[in-house]
């Protein structure tokens, strides 16, 4: 499953795509909600219908898209984990530190990718904790 903004063509027809960012005046970070914090994308319902109870999050914007998607996963009552070696942060004006505080409060777990049978050989960069 992947989450993407409404522009562009679907490229993975064998996977479910949850569309977000269909409002040009609202930039959306979460896979579960638009940034108005009211409009749902349908992801939680889709996963519940299939009996899913855990979410694993990864991505390039740890302190934005990954953060908000993980927090909303917890808020939607999913056990939520961020794969530590499968994400990178932007660290805009202290956003990594804010993410760390937020994850501690929201009880978002962090796991290593080796849990899935393939350990990462890439070391984290400075400011990417």
For residue 86, the model assigns a pLDDT of 85
Question: Each residue of 62-112: pLDDT tens digit?
Answer: 898 899 999 999 999 999 999 988 888 899 999 989 988 888 888 888 888
Q: Is the pLDDT of residue 31 over 50?
A: yes
36: confidence class by pLDDT, cuts 50, 70, 90: confident
% the chain with pLDDT above 70 = 67
Asked if 93 and 127 count as a contact pair (C-beta separation under 8 A), the reply is no
Task: Give CA–CA dist 58/79, Å, rounded.
Answer: 15
Q: Which CATH class is domain 17-113?
A: alpha beta
- Rounded Cα–Cα distance for residues 43 and 31 (Å): 7
Instruction: Give the pLDDT confidence score for residue 13 in this predicted structure.
Output: 52
């Amino acid at each position: 499953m992947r989450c993407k903004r409404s522009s562009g063509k679907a490229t993975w027809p064998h996977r479910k795509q949850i569309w977000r960012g269909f409002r040009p005046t609202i930039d959306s970070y979460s896979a579960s909600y638009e940034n108005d914090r009211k409009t749902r994308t349908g992801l939680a319902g889709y996963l519940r219908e299939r009996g899913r109870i855990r979410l694993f999050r990864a991505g390039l914007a740890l302190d934005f898209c990954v953060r908000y998607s993980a927090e909303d996963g917890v808020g939607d009552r999913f056990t939520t984990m961020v794969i530590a070696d499968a994400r990178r942060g932007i660290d805009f004006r202290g956003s990594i530190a804010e993410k760390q505080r937020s994850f501690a409060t929201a009880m978002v777990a962090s796991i290593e990718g080796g849990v899935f049978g393939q350990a990462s050989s890439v070391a984290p960069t400075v400011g990417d904790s």
